[in-house]
């Protein structure tokens, strides 16, 4: 490790920080160096201190977030705490996990120019640097587009352009893959690797460790409970990391799982009594949709059914219409043409409140749902509004808190939590209502591997839900938990059927921007022996090489 004041791009010495609203430090005794052209992967569970570390580097701590701090952060030998924010912003660039929190302008060219305009650079230089940056990222074609019309992947690249146009020497990436479809995520990762190879120092915080390992990070930093528990090569991480907590390549998981007892997993979705409407719970019949007569059509001739016991994973590219489709199930949107029936009733003939008793829907962005002073009150709001009895409500809330591993935040303000923790609270608000159909939009975005597996296992093994629908960009999540897959591309149903049948079609996956993962490849390799797709730990005990 470096001495204080070294000329590394980034040098941190014994850094500790505790927020005023917290009783314990968010990070403790962090010491590290980041070299020029180095790509460092930072991994760890939600709330372990990764984002706090970045805030200490980019100056948001202590300028925007208050607390008690000790230790030092040096940028090219200069104490970061003594730098002016204008100078700091040209040295350190930060890309947030949600691009919508970072985009402030209506048009792409204005968005990318925003930082340079704040530096009062000449107009000619600003436009030259904007075009140069957009071209470097391969998105010059987006220059004159409206930002609100971009897909999630396009927004992430535009947000990155807004950072890179400032020509930072250090780039901080806070879970940049969280909202991207698999193909867009791979494209983004290749850009990050190229930027490091060009000399920028890159610190990449990401839960999708398996994906990031594919671009050969130079070093890996693993943080647990605010402290560094591992710092070294990716190969070393494979040997010491708990594969139950970090998503490692499937072949490593299988080899190590063979040394452990096999775990039994028995999903119970749909195990309650059949409802009065029979097995079909939700049906789309030739549904078309557009938001207004002036806007392009979003859904085209969508038809499929969700039956009792189904766990349906919905996958497809950014902007394909997945969220729009699921909002029809709750009656938040009504078809322009065609029919959506919920338990046999046309959603045009009922209210959103009535639909909410049958379908519980967790939004993709938790900030759109959270408003209560405490987590406890957040989880009480829905059950009270649909008049669930007090005793049953209390039982549901305790189950939701336990299932999502958020008991310790019961009295905390939801919006003061990390993004991943907020996501779990928003899902908890839906779980506490115990609707017959559970609909989750990107349930694992911002979640560490252990937490998302824990709550998905808990949800699907808990009797009471007749069906579960979830939108995801995580192919392995769909492979592991979905009994059926609905693939959506350009507003149309590209495929609907048994998970293993859908994922065998490589051409179909490519058309829907789904990139085969190490777990899919492992399942395909042993398909003849397995008969169904499953997690790597189960494969370890079911096959012989």
In sequence order, what are the beta bridge partners of 166?
A: none
pLDDT tens-place string over residues 412-453? 999 888 777 888 898 899 889 888 898 988 888 777 888 888
Q: What is the pLDDT of residue 275?
A: 38
Counting every residue, how long is the chain? 545
Cα(178)–Cα(447) distance, integer angstroms: 9
Predicted local distance difference test score (pLDDT) of residue 266: 66
Q: What is the C-alpha separation between 2 and 5, in angstroms, rounded?
A: 8
Query: What is the C-alpha separation between 501 and 515, in angstroms, rounded?
Result: 16
In three-state secondary structure terms, 341 is: strand
Residue 471: what pLDDT?
93
* pLDDT score, position 519: 95
Spatial distance between the Cα atoms of 124 and 121, rounded to a whole number of angstroms: 8
Cα–Cα distance for residue pair 54/206, rounded to 1 Å: 13
* Residues 271, 247: Cα–Cα separation, whole Å: 30
Closest alpha carbon to 481 in 455, 507, 505: 455
Rounded Cα gap, residues 195 and 215, in angstroms: 12
Which residue ranges of the chain lie beneath pLDDT 70? 1-6, 265-278, 462-464, 545
Sequential DSSP letters for 68-88: EEEEEEEETTEEGGGS-HHHH
What confidence tens digit (pLDDT) does each residue in 340-397 have? 999 999 999 998 888 888 898 888 778 888 999 999 999 999 999 888 899 999 999 9
Query: Which residues, 6+ apart, have CB-to-CB distance to 390 below 8 Å?
Result: none
Q: Give me the residue label for tokens 């070299």.
A: 35
Q: What is the pLDDT of residue 154?
A: 84
Q: Of 475, 406, 465, 476, whose CA–CA distance to 439 is shortest?
A: 465
- Give the N- to C-terminal CA distance of the chain in Å, as an integer: 44
pTM (2 d.p.): 0.82
Which domains are seen in the chain, by residue range? 10-241 (3.40.50.300), 260-358+435-505 (3.40.50.300), 360-433 (no CATH)
């Amino acid at each position: 490790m470096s001495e204080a004041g070294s000329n590394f791009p980034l040098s941190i010495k014994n850094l500790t920080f505790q927020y005023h609203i917290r009783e314990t430090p968010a990070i403790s005794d962090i010491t590290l160096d980041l070299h020029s052209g180095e790509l460092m992967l930072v991994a760890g569970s939600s709330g372990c201190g990764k984002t706090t570390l970045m805030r200490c580097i980019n100056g948001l701590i202590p300028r925007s977030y208050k607390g008690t701090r000790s230790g030092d952060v040096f940028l090219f030998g200069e104490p970061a705490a003594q730098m002016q924010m204008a100078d700091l912003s040209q040295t350190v660039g930060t890309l947030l996990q949600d691009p919508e929190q970072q985009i402030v302008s209506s048009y792409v060219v204005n968005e990318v120019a925003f930082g340079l305009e704040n530096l009062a650079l000449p107009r000619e230089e600003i436009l030259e640097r904007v075009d140069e940056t957009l071209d470097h990222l391969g998105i010059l074609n987006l220059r004159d587009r409206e930002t609100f019309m971009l897909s999630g992947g396009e927004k992430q690249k535009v947000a990155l352009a807004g950072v890179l146009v400032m020509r930072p020497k250090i780039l901080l990436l806070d879970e940049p893959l969280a909202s991207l479809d698999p193909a867009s995520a791979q494209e983004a990762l290749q850009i990050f690797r190229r930027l490091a190879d060009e000399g920028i120092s890159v610190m990449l915080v990401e839960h999708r460790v398996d994906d990031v390992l594919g671009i050969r990070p130079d070093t890996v930093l693993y943080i647990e409970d605010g402290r560094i528990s591992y710092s070294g090569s990716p190969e070393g991480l494979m040997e010491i990391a708990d594969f139950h907590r970090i998503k490692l390549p499937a072949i490593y998981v299988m080899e190590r799982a063979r040394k452990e007892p096999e775990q039994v997993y028995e999903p119970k979705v749909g195990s309650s009594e059949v409802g009065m409407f029979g097995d079909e719970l939700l049906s789309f019949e030739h549904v078309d949709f557009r938001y207004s007569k002036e806007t392009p059509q979003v859904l085209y001739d969508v038809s499929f059914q969700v039956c009792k016991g189904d766990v349906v994973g919905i996958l497809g590219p950014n902007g394909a219409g997945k969220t729009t489709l699921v909002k029809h199930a709750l009656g938040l949107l009504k078809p322009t043409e065609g029919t959506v029936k919920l338990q046999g009733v046309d959603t045009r003939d009922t209210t959103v409140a009535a639909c909410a008793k049958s379908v519980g829907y967790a939004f993709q962005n938790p900030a759109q749902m959270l408003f209560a002073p405490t987590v406890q009150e957040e989880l009480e709001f829905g059950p009270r509004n649909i008049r669930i009895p007090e005793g049953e409500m209390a039982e549901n809330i305790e189950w939701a808190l336990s299932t999502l591993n958020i008991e310790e935040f019961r009295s905390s303000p939801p919006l003061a939590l990390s993004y991943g923790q907020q996501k779990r609270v928003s899902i908890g608000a839906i779980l506490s209502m115990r609707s017959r159909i559970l609909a989750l939009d990107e349930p694992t975005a911002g979640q560490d591997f252990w937490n998302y597996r824990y709550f998905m296992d808990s949800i699907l093994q808990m009797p009471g839900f007749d069906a579960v629908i979830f939108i995801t960009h995580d192919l392995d999540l769909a492979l592991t938990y979905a009994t059926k897959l609905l693939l959506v591309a350009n507003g149309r149903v590209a495929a609907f059927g048994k998970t293993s049948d859908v994922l065998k079609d490589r051409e179909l996956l490519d058309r829907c921007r789904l990139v085969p993962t190490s777990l899919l490849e492992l399942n395909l390799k042993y398909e003849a022996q397995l008969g169904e797709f499953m997690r790597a730990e189960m494969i370890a005990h079911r096959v012989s090489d």
